[in-house]
Structure 1
Amino acid sequence: MTPKPRPCRSASRLPAFLAPLLAALLAPAAFAQSSITLMGGVDAFAGALKNSGDPQHVTVLGSGGMTTSWFGVKGSEDLGSGLRAEFFVTSFFQTDTGVYGRFAGDNLFSRDANVALVGGFGRLQLGRASAPGFLPNILFNPFGDSFTFSPLVLHSYVPTGRFGARTWASTNAADSGWSNQVVYTTPSYNGLRASLHFQAGEKAGDDDRNNIAITAMYDNGPLALSAFVHRIRDSNPNPGGPILDVTQAPVNYALVDEQRAWFVGASYNFNVVKLYGTFQRTINDAAGIEGLRDRTISAGVAIPAGRGAVLFDVADTRRSGQLFGIERSRRTATLGYDYRLSKRTDLYAVAMGDRISELPTAMSYGLGIRHSF
């Protein structure tokens, strides 16, 4: 008796995310279309900078007052059947000197170096890209991605004091970008999408030294919401070092070997004013003890005025823990005006006050221009 042929499993019975992948792999190469785009932003300002604890003001012609200057390329290829490949290769640079990177020793493509597959299943990305907490931080404060004047970004990512002797470490460990990263992002459902992040530690014999996170974003109409949780055990941009800071005195931040954090943010656009608010809790473990605990709250507004907007934001961080001793706080407030010359070019003027408890208040000022392309 001739055996009956086994029925093939139909595409309709495959998991939903596999069907478009199989269809794309079988599609003729003739349907492929590709594009490459040069893009970036150039930002420079003149002013005087001083954080609380700094000995004196520094008069600067600085780079990145409102946005860290950067350039690079992105590309995509249409693979057919709703599937496409994408890549991003972008680098930071300093407008005032022309030096690449955000700081000495920064990697050439520390902003982006990744490739992705995008389709009905969502987006799967491999390589260096933004840290899970970066977009929630910059989208939910009126000064956006300013690493010079945004109170929330300063508290989250910018330590004070000189390298190796910080007076105040940032609340978020492991840089604003993660290397060796795998990110899966769901399709958008009525403005809601989520991402899973995993960073491999790449250390032989130590599979536990890795970073993981989940983020969620909602943007539909005037209301926007965001949340993330992360657990960090490895450093960035170059894995293998202390995750928070190399400083050992007066506070031994270098002992921190694991960070756990959660964050929620919201904004609402009333047209006549846009409101922002965030809350974050961070716990840093050091050699088995709770070394540092941070609680950060921020609130801000953007008020349309003429061809620009008046911006105000304040962030308050309370810090305690066995490494730190008594509870201390840091409060930073910034007032500014952003004037639009065109869709791609704007002028800005800002003033910022910064105070760490038991230290004098410090003031910073800046006038700058920003252009994107």
Structure 2
Amino acid sequence: MKHRQLLAIAIASVCASAAHAQSTVQLSGTTDVYVGSMRMAGDAGRRTVVNSGGMTTSWFGFTGSEDLGGGLKAGFALTSFIQVDDGTQGRFPGDTFFSRDANVSLSGSFGTLRLGRWMAPNFLPSVLANPMGDSFTFAPLIVHMNVPLFNGSGWQATTPSDTGWSNQIAYSTPDINGFKANLQYQFGEQPGDNGKKNVGANFFYFGGPLLLTGYYERDQISNPGQGAYFGTTKKDWMLGAAYDFQVAKPYLTYGQTKADNAPGRAKTLQIGVSAPLGAGKVLASWAKTDLSASDINRKTLTVGYDYNLSKRTDVYAMLMNDKITHQSSGSSFGVGIRHRF
């Protein structure tokens, strides 16, 4: 009898371990803080700061998956932005708590179907196709696309509707010989919205040292949260490429943005390069945005060095120059540390 009890306990233990192995939950994130002297084009003066998110917007959160059998997996992501310099939640006042990710997914050989808040089509192509990644502080392409200037220049971000979309259905294809794509649809969810929505798609091709990417969006509602109708339709697209020659990796992007209720387009060209040096990389990127309905353009150049202390921790130094037609020019410098967990 005792042997049978021991056998039953052993079998129960093995089953419990197997069930546990089929389901995982992970806490992860990135903390990034820099010290800088900042002046953007059009600023009245210089600011000395200790700020969050020099090279990556700081965030933390939970992701998980469960093996459902038969090649199916369920997953979830709940991740939140945070300003590490003062502990404030979100990227800006009024940002939703889980504005980075709040979704559930089902994946298999068919690809992945995801419901909830997730990246907008514009985000990942712009991050992969410039040498400074998702730096909303120092990457010229990202600054032009996503960061308005609250000064005399009146500069507006060229990306119509945030880098993340709420209330969306997204389908991601499986990897097909290095090619992947996402198809995305965001519901307006407003009473009497008459079908107002955001739709978009992006693609990625990874062929050895070659990267090709691009996106298209047709936007009618704002983000984050339950967005409001713009009162117009805004369209934007971008194509990008990079090639790793080992000694250097050049980057190139070109894109346009157009609103139905405004004349002209915003046309943005970005050229960049990264080159290994010691335990880090030298980074350089230049972006120019022309507003075709006027004589106004913006030119931003950033050069810097990113040094790896370990696989998860790096330190960086960046120097940026920013110019807008008819505005005072600005220059900024920052040194920071980034840790991934």
Q: Given the two structures, how large is their TM-score scaled by the length of structure 1?
A: 0.84
| One-letter amino acid of the counterpart of residue 288, structure 2 | D
Deviations 1:305-362 (A, max 9, x none): 00001000000000133xxxx2310000000000000000000000000000111220
* Percentage identity across paired residues of the two chains: 48
Contact preservation (8 Å) 2:153, 2:324: no
- Residue number in structure 2 paired with 1:267: 242
> Which consecutive unaligned segments of at least 5 residues does structure 1 have?
1-28, 244-255
Aligned match for 2:109, one of 80, 96, 120: 120
Aligned-partner Cα distance in 1 for 2:38–2:95: 22
Contact preservation (8 Å) 2:160, 2:236: no
Indicate yes or no: 2:102 matched with 1:130: no
- Residue number in structure 1 paired with 2:251: 276
Local SS of the residue matching 2:141: helix
What is the CA distance between 1:30 and its match in structure 2?
6.6
- Residue number in structure 2 paired with 1:222: 209
Aligned match for 2:271, one of 280, 286, 299: 299
- Residue number in structure 2 paired with 1:345: 313
**Where does 1:165-184 land on structure 2 (aligned, <5 Å)?**
167-184=154-171
Number of corresponding residues: 324
Local SS of the residue matching 2:83: coil
Contact preservation (8 Å) 2:314, 2:339: yes
What is the CA distance between 1:238 and its match in structure 2?
3.0
**Where does 1:314-329 land on structure 2 (aligned, <5 Å)?**
314-321=286-293, 326-329=294-297
Report the CA distance shift for 1:79/1:308 in structure 2 as closer, same or farther (over 3 A).
same
- Residue number in structure 2 paired with 1:212: 199
What is the CA distance between 1:204 and its match in structure 2?
2.2
Deviations 1:240-298 (A, max 9, x none): 4464xxxxxxxxxxxx6211112100000000000100000111122xxx444110000
- Residue number in structure 2 paired with 1:15: none
Deviations 1:36-90 (A, max 9, x none): 0000000001011111011111100111000011000100000011100010100
Indicate yes or no: 2:173 matched with 1:186: yes
What is the CA distance between 1:205 and its match in structure 2?
2.3
- Residue number in structure 2 paired with 1:83: 72
| One-letter amino acid of the counterpart of residue 238, structure 2 | F
| One-letter amino acid of the counterpart of residue 353, structure 1 | N
Contact preservation (8 Å) 1:148, 1:154: yes
- Pairwise CA RMSD of aligned residues? 1.6
Local SS of the residue matching 1:327: coil
Report the CA distance shift for 1:242/1:354 in structure 2 as closer, same or farther (over 3 A).
farther
Local SS of the residue matching 2:327: coil
- Residue number in structure 2 paired with 1:247: none
Local SS of the residue matching 1:358: coil
Aligned match for 2:96, one of 88, 94, 107: 107
Local SS of the residue matching 1:195: strand
Higher relative contact order (CA 8 A, sep 6+): 2
Report the CA distance shift for 1:203/1:370 in structure 2 as closer, same or farther (over 3 A).
same
